[in-house]
């Protein structure tokens, strides 16, 4: 029982990372109907900003995480401004937007290896590495922080989308971008907000992943699990992204604990295929005209 509880804590921790990444994918897809495959480098660069800020600027952990969210958000917006927006203005096929994202996903990590080196580094926070003993269960502080801050950000995101005027504009754009523009909604402003929010979620997820494992230029590859979770939950569904992210983290952790870690990716992608066969829209997926 103790082992199960220990793995449950770990599953919630890694699941919260997947949930944040999945929400980032869902936000972009809900409005623009394409998946931003350049999401991984955004996560990686945000994490590296915190990685260097802690020793060089002597920032405490929480301000460094906030810095990572800001940097990742700005990089995400810059990506939209310089790559996706010109392509959208030319009415480029969504497929080409995703191909551009794949190009970014290849170029930036390789450039980062040349700049930062290809080494694997521990996240520079003694506080995050410490554990709290609950009877026979050792809970890393980073796991608790990941669960709490992820919950706070997801709740804040829900309030923003459903209780603010800007959130209303985003939800209107998710139904029909062209019509929303005709009704006076600034679609480019919506794009800026969506990419800033998705980037901030990626930066937060990257810090948690770095605390739990390590920081390295190719760490953004984990964002593919966020895409898997977003697809399983239903592309464009924020609730589905959160639920499937936590579910995926739980399943992977239990499989690694009671079976073999070599089956983690096998089970994740097998689940993806099964869900798409029997539930093509995902667990909570909706029609293209009823997202968010």
Question: How many whole angstroms separate alpha carbon 238 and alpha carbon 269?
Answer: 20
Give how far Cα 111 sits from Cα of 45, 108, 219, Å. 11, 5, 14
Tell if the pTM clears 0.85, that is, is over it.
yes
Residue 98: is it exposed, middle or buried by C-beta count within 10 angstroms (0-12/13-18/19+)? middle
Q: Write out the chain's pLDDT in tens, 292 residues.
A: 667 887 888 888 899 999 999 999 999 998 888 899 999 999 999 999 999 999 999 999 999 999 999 999 999 999 999 999 999 889 889 899 999 999 999 999 999 999 988 899 999 988 887 888 777 777 888 888 888 999 899 899 999 988 998 888 888 887 777 777 777 788 889 999 999 999 999 999 999 999 989 999 999 999 999 999 999 998 878 888 999 999 999 998 888 888 887 888 888 899 999 999 998 888 886 655 445 5
If you write DSSP's letter for every residue of 42-55 in order, what string do you get?
HHHHHHHHHHHHHH
Using CA of residue 274, residue 218, residue 253, residue 142, what is the dihedral sign? Answer: negative
In three-state form (DSSP H/G/I as H, E/B as E, the rest C), the secondary structure along 156-217 is: HHHHHHHHCHHHHHHHHHHHCHHHHHHCCCCHHHHHHHHHHHHHHHHHHHHHHHHHHCCECH
Q: Which pLDDT score, from 0 to 100, does residue 17 have? A: 92
Residue 292: is it exposed, middle or buried by C-beta count within 10 angstroms (0-12/13-18/19+)? buried
Q: Do 41 and 103 meet the contact criterion of CB atoms below 8 Å apart?
A: no
Question: How many whole angstroms separate alpha carbon 90 and alpha carbon 97?
Answer: 11
Question: How many whole angstroms separate alpha carbon 258 and alpha carbon 166?
Answer: 46
Q: Do 139 and 159 meet the contact criterion of CB atoms below 8 Å apart?
A: no
H-only helix segments in the chain: 2-32, 39-56, 61-79, 85-89, 94-116, 126-129, 141-163, 165-175, 177-182, 187-212, 223-233, 238-258, 264-278
Give how far Cα 102 sits from Cα of 47, 67, 72, 106, 274, Å. 20, 26, 18, 6, 25
């Amino acid at each position: 029982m103790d082992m199960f509880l220990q793995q449950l804590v770990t599953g919630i921790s890694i699941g919260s990372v997947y949930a944040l990444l999945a929400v980032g994918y869902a936000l972009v897809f809900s409005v623009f109907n394409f998946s931003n495959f350049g999401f991984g480098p955004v996560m990686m660069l945000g994490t590296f900003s915190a990685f260097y800020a802690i020793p060089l600027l002597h920032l405490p952990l929480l301000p460094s995480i906030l810095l990572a969210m800001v940097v990742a958000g700005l990089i995400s917006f810059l990506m939209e401004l310089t790559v996706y927006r010109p392509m959208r203005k030319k009415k480029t096929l969504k497929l080409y937007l995703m191909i551009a994202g794949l190009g970014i996903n290849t170029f930036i990590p390789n450039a980062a290896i040349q700049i930062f080196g290809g080494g694997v580094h521990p996240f520079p926070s003694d506080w995050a590495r410490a554990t709290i003993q609950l009877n026979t269960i050792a809970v890393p502080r980073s796991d608790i922080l990941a669960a709490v801050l992820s919950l706070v950000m997801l709740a804040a995101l829900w309030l923003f989308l459903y209780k603010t005027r800007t959130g209303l504009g985003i939800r209107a754009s998710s139904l029909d971008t062209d019509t929303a523009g005709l009704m006076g909604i600034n679609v480019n402003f919506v794009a800026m907000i969506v990419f800033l929010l998705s980037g901030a979620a990626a930066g937060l997820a990257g810090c948690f992943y770095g605390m739990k494992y390590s920081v390295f230029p190719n760490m953004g590859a984990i964002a593919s699990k966020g895409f898997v979770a977003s697809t399983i939950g239903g592309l464009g569904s924020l609730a589905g992204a959160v639920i499937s992210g936590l579910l995926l983290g739980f399943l992977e952790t239990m499989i690694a604990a009671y079976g073999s870690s070599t089956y983690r990716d096998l089970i994740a992608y097998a689940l993806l295929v099964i869900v798409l066969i029997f539930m093509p829209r995902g667990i909570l997926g909706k029609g293209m005209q009823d997202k968010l």
